[in-house]
Every structure is written in structure tokens, then in C-alpha cells.
Amino acid sequence: MKTTRRWQGWCMAGVALGLASLAGCQTYHVSGMTLPSGHYLQHPPQYFVPSPAFPLSKELASMEAQEALAARPAPAGALPPQVPPQTPPPPAGPAVLPPPAGAP
């Protein structure tokens, strides 16, 4: 029983060593530099979609729709928008009077 387990262990180690040697190393260590292999040139180039000038496209569409709605002329016979009358601001508080001229 022990010999079978030992034999299986050596077999598994041999298979692992064989797979490791077949995988190989994808880099080369030359003069202190780690350089890639030449296989990276065989991959097709990747395409990245250019990002839009304004990244918030939904917000931009909403702002443009509001701007177009505001720039549209009013229909004939429509009343201008009513603006509520402005109320004057309340006084800032009690006024400070200068002291009388004859006071020490």
C-alpha cells in the first residue's frame, strides 16, 4: 500500500515538472533587465472607444433639451410669464445714532 502511494506521488511530481517545463517562461532576464518575449507582437491590437468630450451624456441631453425649450419662441397670444413683485428686505436692526455733539 505504501509503495503505491509513493509511486503515485512520484508520478504526480513528474507530471507537475513536465507541465512546468512545457509552460516555459514568458520573460528573459538579461543584464539585470526583465524583457518580454517577442510573442507579444503577434497579438492583435486592442481598440478602445474614445471617451466623449462631456462624460455625463444623460445630463448633457437634459441641459440641451431645456436650452432648446427656453430658446423656442412663445406661441402667438401667449401671456408672458408672471413675475412675483419684489418686496424690500427687512431693516437690518436698530440704527446706531452718533452721540450728541455736546456730550463728553
Write the DSSP string, 15-55: HHHHHHHHH--SEEEETTEEEE-GGGGGSPPP--PPPPSSS
- Output the pLDDT for position 88: 80
Question: Is it the case that residue 78 has pLDDT exceeding 90?
Answer: no
Q: What's the chain's average pLDDT?
A: 76
Give the dihedral sign, CA 50/51/54/57. positive
Share of the chain above pLDDT 70, in %: 74
| Residue 20 binned pLDDT confidence (cut-offs 50, 70, 90) | low
The model's pTM is 0.27
Give me the residue label for grid cell 408672458: 80
